[in-house]
Structure 1
Amino acid sequence: MSNKRSRERNEDAEYEPDSKKAWNDPRQTVLDLITSAEQSQYADSGVNLTYAAGCTEEENYDTVTLKDIIGDEHLEELYQFNFTVDLHYLMENLAENVKTSAKIKVIHGMKESIPIIEATALVYPNVEIYSPKMMDRWGKTIMKEYIDLKDKSIEQHVSGLQAYITPRYAKVAVVTANICHADWNQMCQATYRTPVLPLKSETTEAGELIGSEHGSPFERDLISYFRAYNMKVTNELCEKLRLYDFSKCKAVIIASVPGYHQDRDSEKWGLKRLQHILTKKVDIVPECQKQSIILTQASSIGALSPVDTDLQHIADCLDVSVTGLESAGFLRMDSATYEKLHSWFPSYLCRWEGKVGGRQKIMPHYKSYTRLRANPQTKIDATGNEIEARASIAWHLVTSANLSRAAWGDLQKNGTQLHIRHYELGILLYPDLWEASIYDEQETHMLAANHRNPMPKPPEFVSVNDGDVIVPVRIPYGIPPKNYASSDHCWTTAFVE
């Protein structure tokens, strides 16, 4: 009898230890190590931190730049979704040979910048600008995604270390950074990148798979998100994406779209979507069932009721950061909101403590929600380097959604209606996504990694067998978390008012 944990599985869960990197990157990466025979038990999570100019080469290990994502010389079409877009900066990061030929479509959400970006677009005839309609003045936040389509002749169709016999393929990246120099060089950001998405088999009709309208849950949910924009440009994108095979994507999309969502429809978006996946799909690994915490890392917080631990910067952390107190403009904790929460909220706050993660002097801008069990005492080798992981991870969500009702939704009408005001997009990772079948003895363990220990060994409290898969996920803040001292104060707008 198999001792396999019984779980409900994501439809596209399939482990491939020899998967190759989707984007070319000249720097050494975790994927370079994974491909070696000795490290075949490790699998790539698809999540990376972005490069930061204020960090050392060691701290920037296994990071990516904007050019790494969109700087492909074979790019023919790019769909760029974002809140803020510096069009000149976007174009600077394209390969020289496609800057005037590739079709660039920018869907952005900052209403105030429309005149500027439209004027800038006149310099680039191959760029089209779009802005979605929002339901109210707060509905401006658009998640950051990149969709790039490649279309080349069959004989020239080569991607990295893999050659395809089909003329087209696609790639998708979800990132937390706006399109501007500061976000990509001076802040702690994250990105999730899919594997290369080949065309579906000729024997499979576009967008179809037995028992499913689309080829995978990832494809279905991504297309549903784009359909929700209700724009001609996004509908056209959906028709193109239906041609590609998303079955290798080991992530679950957690998205928010503006509107009043009722009954079963509410389970597709925001807080209710996350609740549905965590209760119906995710089986918490044994080591995290009784001794785990949920860490929330955000740069903006709305009015809340009591919640789990949150990681927020404080004044002295800002002062020694690369950008100094200018970083405060991206930490939007309203002073009035904080006063309302003051009776209970400070006891949940933790210091950023980014030294262990190689991001001590970089202002955090990305948002993450993670359930983990911290390792109270990490083993080190003779040279003082860590061997074990600092935590075992039950699930990890990287998203654009800050901790607010506008982003996650406000439950109304006795919980039967969810009101969301923002477009948000994130991806959820959990161990089951890398496991092959319920009859396989193989287990998967997600472990917290950092730049000095990119491929950690499991802590002693994690039971590991031969053949088990390890998925390292780089966490930029300190684990175990360090609570605020009595002298610490949460950064709010009061410091600059």
Structure 2
Amino acid sequence: MLQEGAHGKWAISSSDESAEENSDSEKPCTSSLSDAACGKTSDPQYPCSEARKAAHKRKASPLKFTDTSLSTESPPAVKQRPSQEGSGWCLSSSDEEPEDQHNHAHKETGKEEKYDVPKEHPLNLCKDDKLLENVKEEEYNVTPSEAQDTWDLVTGGNHFRFFLTKVSGIEQNYNSGALHIKGEQVASTRRGLLGESKRILIFTLWVFLNAFCFLFLTYKFNYCIDVGWLVRQYPQEFRKKPLLIVHGEKRESKAELIAQARPYENISFCQAKLDIAFGTHHTKMMLLLYEEGLRVVIHTSNLIAEDWHQKTQGIWLSPLYPRLPKEASGSAGESATNFKSDLISYLAAYSSPALKEWIDLIQEHDLSETRVYLLGSTPGRFQGSDKEKWGHLRLRKLLKEHAVSVPAQECWPLVGQFSSIGSMGADGSKWLCSEFQESLVAAGSSLTTFRKCDVPIHLVYPTVNNVRQSLEGYPAGGSLPYSIQTAQKQLWLHSYFHKWSAEVTGRTHAIPHIKTYMRLSPDFQKISWFLVTSANLSKAAWGALEKNGSQLMIRSYELGVLFLPSAFGLDKGYFHVGRKKFPEGKDSATYFPVPYDLPPEQYGSKDQPWIWNIPYTDAPDTHGNMWVPS
């Protein structure tokens, strides 16, 4: 069956998704271990979404484009490096030729591009899982001076402490100041989020999409987790430290995750409760405990190699929080943004004894230097004052209380950028342009002005061509799980869509998995607030009002940080938009480094949003392949 829409014809499945509310999430599939036991090797050996499973299958077994009627122009090749064990930080080296660098920065034109299949490409040679793993595990050579320059930014050169992750295959200067998860020895110092210079990691806690982790003192939260890959990101001396993984997996996926960790005696698990149907544990956070103090990292990447390779991801890295004196009061170490108490409240919402130790550790540290506001979502139905603790009503409350009103701000545009989309309803009045928009325009706006003013909404989501021309090609769409079953019911939404473009950061062809929301002046020169978060555009993530607005229902765990000018000492009520490459260096105190181009470019008449579960066979991607998900 074909559906004629504003952006072309789509093939529509005759069966609908039963989990429509969760169509924005990357719901884990549970067949990888069983398939492996049967001798199949096309599935990733960790819980993942159906979209990511399809991408993994197409990477391992690509379908070559064979239309010889196309012109002789070749798609831009992506230069790949072989595996380089022990190379340290994933910093781009300078061994790329200028011609290659120019090819990486090619621009998408308005004309329909036609390509022959490139005869050879490293990713097209991946005939087995071993070679594919070598590509995924590739590292970069890095000199001590490069590593030191990057770490200087971590220790104070980046005013907002907002970073992008390193991307393979782009010019080195666009990776300046970017971070990677891998920690290694570089000239007698340690680099990487898991190998910080001169600091001894004691314990780590991670919070990610569907999981958490402890390592000596490490705590991690995430959704997709490749345990073996994660362990290899730690410096050798930290790999046997206790690691707690807090996750949201159930049944087969849970068993699969536990099976991954069986070779590692130091790893244990804590399951996050998901009592409302179709919810996910989507938060991505690390808590890193050192001998010298505690650090919090909130980011958008899953704990799998693909998310740290050729995607645009965001990281907020806290200062190193020192321990408080033993005689300090219970309220000591709080920031002006109440970050400490909000972080403790978020962890307490899990109602897990395993996290009590982390709550106590946070209580023992001084978080007073934090300048961002914590904004989370937790599953539940909330009434009274609890309604404003989570989701979009939490954002509404923060903006009303702490954002400085700017003249004529009532009609400033909103920009949302995300990697997946849930069910919005039959039209904008059902959620997007009503309760959600009201929360995003709360600063300096009364309900009356909100209703009178037509606030523009620009939604940035990759087109099919964005994905096709990306560094990864069509498989990049595996991290964009917008389904045809959801899209066909909300064609009205696509009139708000704008293309993904990031020429300013050199990342137009690194497909975004980052999620950001902000409000800007009509000339796109000023930002009144900026949010980086795990939350995609969905009611499951942000919450939806029930019972005539008396109750907020949220399905999933999410976490992000809100940047407000007032918290950074700017009394004018806005940041300037950073126009240079990311980050801004000496101008970082007033220029916020937006990770994509402004103003956003609206979809053209031939542009279509990327839909993961339909085929694309009319034109080859950058590796000469087609996309057939099944």
Match of 2:442 in 1: none
The corresponding residue for 2:525 is 391
- Runs of 4+ aligned residues of structure 1 deviating over 6 Å after TM superposition are 33-36
Q: CA deviation at 1:29?
A: 4.8
CA distance, structure 2, for counterparts of residue 290 and residue 134 of structure 1: 37
Q: 2 CA distance for matches of 1:106 and 1:340?
A: 37
- Aligned pair 1:275/2:396, yes or no? yes
Separation (CA, whole Å) in 2 of partners of 1:292 and 1:218? 28
Match of 2:472 in 1: 323
1:106 aligns with one of 238, 245, 250: 245
Q: Corresponding residue for 1:470?
A: 589
When residues 410 and 35 of structure 1 are mapped into structure 2, their CA distance, relative to the original with a 3 A threshold, is closer
SS at match of 1:240: helix
Structure in which a larger fraction of residues adopt helix: 2
Cα gap change, 1:193/1:292 in structure 2, threshold over 3 Å: closer, same or farther? Answer: same
- The 1:457–1:92 alpha-carbon spacing in structure 2 relative to 1, beyond 3 Å, is closer
TM-score under structure 1 length normalisation: 0.78
SS where residue 275 of structure 2 aligns?
coil
* Of 471, 485, 495, the match for 1:336: 485
Residue number among 171, 179, 200 corresponding to 1:74 in the alignment: 200
Q: What is the SS of the residue equivalent to 2:560?
A: strand
Q: In 2, are the aligned partners of 1:75 and 1:148 still within 8 Å (CA)?
A: yes
Contact kept, 8 Å, 2:501 with 2:597, in 1: the verdict is yes
Question: Residue 452 of structure 1: which of 574, 581, 585 is its match?
Answer: 581
Report Cα offsets for 1:452-473 as digits up to 9, x if no partner.
3643899xxxxxxxxxx83433
Change in CA separation of 1:453 and 1:404 when aligned onto 2, cut-off 3 Å: closer
Whether the 8 Å CA contact 1:59–1:451 is kept in 2: the answer is no
Q: CA deviation at 1:58?
A: 1.4
User: 2:283 is matched with which residue: 143, 152, 175?
Assistant: 143
Q: What is the rounded CA distance, in whole Å, between the counterparts of 1:173 and 1:292 in structure 2?
A: 31
- Counterpart of 2:167 in structure 1: which amino acid? A
Superposition map of 1:15-414 within 5 A: 26=147, 28-29=149-150, 32=153, 44-67=159-182, 68-72=192-196, 74-76=200-202, 77-100=217-240, 102-111=241-250, 112-151=252-291, 168-205=292-329, 207-209=330-332, 217-286=338-407, 289=409, 292-304=412-424, 305-306=427-428, 307=432, 308-342=457-491, 344-373=492-521, 375=523, 391-414=525-548
- Which has the higher mean CA deviation after the structures are superposed, 239-248 or 118-127? 118-127
- Secondary structure of 2:397's partner? helix
Instruction: Tell me the secondary structure at the aligned position of residue 218 of structure 2.
Output: strand
- Name the % identity: 30
CA distance in 2: counterparts of 1:33 and 1:81, whole angstroms: 22
Contact 2:167 2:510 in 1 (8 A): yes
CA distance in 2, matches of 1:197, 1:320: 42
Counterpart CA distance in 2 for 1:25 and 1:90 is: 24
Change (3 A) 1:30 1:66: closer
One-letter amino acid of the counterpart of residue 449, structure 1: G
Secondary structure, in 3 states, of the residue corresponding to 1:301? Answer: coil
Letter in 2 for 1:299: S
The secondary structure found in structure 2 opposite 1:309 is strand
How big is each residue's C-alpha offset from its partner over 1:21-43, in whole Å with a ceiling of 9 and x where there is no partner? xxx9815359659979xxxxxx6
SS at match of 1:69: coil
Deviation of the 1:341 alpha carbon: 2.0
Q: Is the Cα–Cα contact under 8 Å of residues 383 and 550 in structure 2 kept in the other structure? A: yes
The residue type equivalent to 2:341 in the other structure is R
Q: CA offsets, 1:202-227, max 9 Å, x none? A: 4422x3249x8x99610010110000
The C-alpha deviation readout for 1:99-141, integer Å capped at 9, x for no partner, is 12x2211112233432232123222221112221211341223
**One-letter amino acid of the structure 1 residue matched with residue 163 of structure 2:** N
* Pair 1:479-2:579 in alignment: no
Contact 1:350/1:481 (<8 A) preserved: yes
- 5+ residue gaps, structure 1, are 1-23, 37-42, 152-167, 376-389, 437-441, 459-468
Residues 481 and 612 of structure 2 are in contact (CA less than 8 Å); yes or no, is this contact kept in structure 1? yes
**Residues 257-293 of structure 1, C-alpha deviation per residue, up to 9 Å, x if partnerless?**
001111110100001101111112112445x726632
- Give the distance between the partners of 1:415 and 1:291, measured in 2 at CA: 24
Indicate how the Cα distance of structure 1 residues 391 and 92 shifts in structure 2: closer, same or farther if over 3 A, else same: farther
CA root-mean-square deviation: 2.7
- Please say if residues 445 and 470 of structure 1, whose CA atoms lie closer than 8 Å, have aligned partners that are also in contact: no
Provide closer, same or farther for how the CA distance between residues 482 and 216 of structure 1 changes in structure 2, counting only shifts above 3 A.
closer
Matched residue type, 2:489: K
Residues 361-392 of structure 1 deviation map (CA, whole Å, 9 limit, x = unaligned)? 111111110112265xxxxxxxxxxxxxx732
- Deviation sequence 1:333-374 (CA, Å, 0-9, x none): 2223222221x3222111111222311111111111011226
SS of the aligned residue for 1:299 comes to: coil
Deviation at 1:180, TM superposition (A): 0.6
3-state DSSP class of the match of 1:395? strand
Q: Distance in 1 between matches of 2:353 and 2:153?
A: 40
Aligned residues: 417
Kept in 2, the 8 Å contact 1:374–1:479? The answer is no
* Deviation of 1:240 (Å): 1.3
> Is the 8 Å Cα contact of residues 444 and 471 (structure 1) preserved in structure 2?
no
Counterparts in 2 of 1:374 and 1:188: CA distance versus 1, 3 Å: farther
Q: 1:216 to 1:242 in 2, by over 3 A?
A: farther
Residue 562 of structure 2 corresponds to residue 428 of structure 1: yes
CA contact (8 A) 1:109 1:132 kept: yes
- C-alpha change, 1:355 and 1:118, in structure 2 (3 Å) is same
TM-score by length of 2: 0.62
Offset of residue 252 of structure 1: 0.4
Secondary structure (helix, strand or coil) at the match of 2:529 reads strand
The amino acid that maps onto 2:527 is I
Q: Distance in 1 between matches of 2:345 and 2:499?
A: 37
Specify the code of the residue in structure 2 equivalent to 1:489: Q
Q: 1:120 to 1:33 in 2, by over 3 A?
A: closer
Per the alignment, residue 619 of structure 2 pairs with none
Structure 1 residues 88 and 33, CA, compared in 2 at 3 Å: closer, same or farther? closer
Structure number with greater Rg is 2
Alpha-carbon spacing, 1:104–1:25, altered in 2? closer, same or farther (3 Å): farther
CA contact (8 A) 1:223 1:238 kept: yes
